[in-house]
Amino acid sequence: MKKVMKKLIPAILIGVLAVSLTACGGNSGGSGSGGGSSSGGSGSKLTTYTFDGFTAQLPKGDVDDMEGFVAYYYNDNFMMSALKEDAETFAGYNANIDDYTLEDYAEMVEYANGVEDSFELDEKGNLSITYQREAEGRNFFYYSTVKQGTQSFWVITFACFDGEEGTYLPQFKEYASLLVFD
C-alpha cells in the first residue's frame, strides 16, 4: 500500500488543491524530519515529526517535500498534508490576520472552495470537515481541520482510501488534536 500511496501523491494533492480545502492563496514550501521520541496513542507508538511551523505525533512513516505544502507525510495507510497562510499572505489580500478568528478562517476556506458543508467541532476539539473525492480512478476519504498558530492559519488534511475511514477517522481526529503550532 505504501507504494500505491506514494504513486498517488500527486493525484491526491491535486484533489486536495483543486476541489477541497486549499484556502485562499499561495503557501511556502517546507520540509519535515522524523524525531526520535515515541509516545503512546491510538493503540500504537507515535513519532514526533517536526515541520516548519508545527510538530505532529504520527505513526512511523515518510516525509517528502511537496511544492505548495509546508508538510507532507505518508505511510502505508494514509497521508497528511499541511497548508499555511500567514500574516504576509493576508497582507497580500489587504487584510490583517489579527482581524480574523479561527472560525472566520474556516468560513473563508469554505467560501473559497465552494464547500457545501461547514467545519464543525469534533469530539477532540478540532474544527473539521470530512468529504470523499476521486483521484486517478481511486476514491479517497478526507478529514480536514483548520488550526491557528502564531500569526498563521493552517489547513491540515488527512486522507485514506475510501471505505477505510471507519478505521482511520478516529486516528485522524486524535492526530489532529496532538498538533502543536509555533
Domain ranges of the chain: 2-181
pLDDT of the residue at 14: 36
pLDDT of the residue at 44: 67
Q: Which ranges of the chain have pLDDT less than 70?
A: 1-44
pLDDT of the residue at 159: 96
pLDDT of the residue at 30: 37
pLDDT of the residue at 165: 97
pLDDT of the residue at 113: 82
pLDDT of the residue at 169: 98
The CATH number given to 2-181 is: 2.60.120.1690
pLDDT of the residue at 154: 97
Q: Find the length of the chain.
A: 182
